[in-house]
């Protein structure tokens, strides 16, 4: 695998993880200490990624670093659903009891719809 191919694979995997979590380039950049433009360059494979940046990305996405190096293809439906459930659970963390009650009532309303 050439350097360019590796950069492209890393970029595709970074972008897939970011989009799956519905994080903007700007928000991701802020979390890892770079600008939105730099995130775009990494995703397109136009800029290399340091080990420290990979470590930060893996931490943000809660995945092992080596996951960025595999040809992951399209995530399965089960993977996508599990990721969404985990994201929802993370969003609920830290809500007050009143906020949680509101979320529960909203979800009940959606299920009845």
List % helix, strand, coil for the chain (3-state, nearest 5): 75, 0, 25
| Residue 37 reports pLDDT greater than 90 | yes
Are residues 56 and 44 part of one domain?
A: yes
Residue 80 pLDDT level (bands cut at 50, 70, 90): low
Question: What CA–CA distances, in Å, run from 91 to 82, 83, 85, 95?
Answer: 14, 12, 10, 8
Are residues 87 and 51 part of one domain?
A: no
pLDDT in tens, 85-107: 777 887 888 889 999 999 899 98
Are residues 97 and 61 part of one domain?
A: no
pLDDT exceeding 70 applies to what percent of the chain?
90
CB of 90 within 8 A of CB of 50?
A: no
Q: Which domain holds residue 15?
A: 1-73
Rounded to an integer, what distance in angstroms lies between the CA atom of residue 99 and that of residue 29?
29
Q: What is the DSSP letter of 67?
A: G
Extended beta strands in the chain, E state? none
């Amino acid at each position: 695998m050439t350097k360019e191919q590796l950069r492209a694979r890393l970029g595709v995997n970074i972008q897939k993880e970011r989009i799956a979590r519905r994080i903007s380039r700007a928000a991701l950049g802020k979390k890892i200490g770079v600008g939105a433009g730099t995130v775009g360059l990494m995703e397109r494979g136009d800029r290399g990624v340091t080990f420290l940046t990979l470590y930060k990305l893996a931490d943000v996405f809660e995945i092992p670093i080596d996951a960025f190096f595999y040809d992951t293809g399209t995530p399965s439906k089960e993977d996508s659903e599990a990721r969404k459930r985990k994201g929802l659970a993370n969003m609920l963390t830290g809500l007050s009891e009143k906020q949680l009650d509101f979320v529960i009532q909203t979800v009940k309303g959606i299920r009845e719809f």
